[in-house]
Amino acid sequence: MPDIHAKTFSPSSSCKWLNCPGSVLLEAEFPDKESDYMREGTLAHAIAERKVKKHFTPVSQKTFTSQMNRLKTNPLYRNEMQGYTDTYLDYIKEVAMSFPAAPFVAVEKQVSFGNYAPGGFGTSDCIVIGGNTMYVCDFKYGKGVKVDAEKNTQGMLYALGALNAYEMFYRIDEIVISIIQPRLDSISEYRISAQELKKWADEYLKPAVQKIINGSTECNPGPWCDKGFCKARGKCAALANKNLELADDYELAAPEELSFAMIGDALMKGRQLKAWLAALEEYALSKSLAGFEIPGWKAVAGRSIRQFTDTDKAFEHFIKNGVEKDMLYKRVPITLTEAEKLIGKKEFAKIAKDYVVKSEPKPTLAELSGKREAYKPNNAANDFADII
């Protein structure tokens, strides 16, 4: 039986353990790693939390300013965080104002769904309850992957925990799961009834949790291998078999020329193989560095990069030794996005409208299942397509 603890049923990795119970055992040997991206997200969340609390709870300006100044000392702090967190705050304010009376608001609320998964809990960024509706809001600072709220298991687990915490005090019929991702200009909502959410928990969540408790080794490769950031994807035999089958099963019916159907199929399989090979190489390198032998491969030293130990002190020394100061610095204007965040979206739109032009988007290839519309070249044939 695997070592079951709260981290096993973390909402943030729920897409993975709900679909692939065997991943819990496979990942046991891998330590948790916190990247700069994660630390940056934690900082942005702290800024967002203080802004929402200041708006909805009695917090003095002096206290707020003091808290914000401390956060600004973090090496990962960037001025643009203010604009992005304001977007999140604006959404919460709009939700609150949509109710006829002032709603109940909880910020950074720890919620538990331990009645479905032993020790399962998470921290919801913001919960708003008004009338018979509860909003469960999730602020995401990342910009790598756009996250959709529809049937998002992390949001559903937060909602389940929030329902456990508040349904004895409020009548909650409908739940709105919101994901606010300002760096991708994305706000996504998913509506589900409280009854539907509980049904999902009974019929889907409980059986998946029980498999893990029973020590299941069942591995089911799928999108969650990457989206759930599975640490074991480089050693998973089920994922390896799936990807090797993709390569083995591909046969060229017309060796002299690829059909469009074959190109589409090869691109789809190649994308999966590329992601898997990257994970395989990362795992092999980690084992090689740990002293294990990977037949046919070895770890070697990468490229070394020179850098200053202290740029400011180095430049002071250069200037004292006759180097012109102007030779050491470049004056570079900030980007349009940075300017918009500094000035504010509304004010920027008002004063910059005569100086901003939107370029024609560059075509890129995407899977047909994606939500973006197909690209339509801006040419005469398309202008008159409806007439011809």
pLDDT of 95-107, one tens digit each?
999 999 999 999 9
pTM score above 0.95? no
* The pLDDT value given to residue 301: 84
pLDDT mean over 110-139 = 95
* The pLDDT value given to residue 98: 95
Nearest Cα to Cα of residue 38 among 133, 184, 109, 142: 142
* The pLDDT value given to residue 34: 81
Task: Give, for 139, the enclosing helix (H) or strand (E).
Answer: strand 133-139
* The pLDDT value given to residue 383: 44
Mean of the per-residue pLDDT values for the chain? 87
Radius of gyration of the chain (CA): 26
pLDDT of 51-71, one tens digit each?
999 999 888 999 999 999 999
Task: Give, for 147, the enclosing helix (H) or strand (E).
Answer: none
Decide if pLDDT at 234 tops 90. Answer: no
SS3 153: helix
- 384 token code pair: 């008159």
Strand order of the sheet with strand 186-193?
Answer: 104-112, 121-130, 133-139, 174-181, 186-193
Beta-ladder partners of 128: 105, 135
pLDDT of 22-33, one tens digit each?
999 888 888 888
pLDDT of 160-212, one tens digit each?
999 999 999 999 999 999 999 999 999 999 999 999 999 999 999 999 999 99
* The pLDDT value given to residue 388: 42
List the Cα angle 321/323/326 in 5-degree steps: 145
Nearest Cα to Cα of residue 122 among 105, 135, 136, 101: 136
Cα separation, 293 vs 299, in Å, equals 10
Tokens 């994807």 label which residue? 233
* The pLDDT value given to residue 380: 45
Share of the chain above pLDDT 70, in %: 92
- 52 token code pair: 């929402």
- 132 token code pair: 């018979």
Cα separation, 66 vs 63, in Å, equals 5
Q: Who has greater pLDDT, 327 or 262?
A: 327
Q: Who has greater pLDDT, 112 or 302?
A: 112
pLDDT of 346-360, one tens digit each?
888 889 888 998 887
Cα separation, 366 vs 325, in Å, equals 48
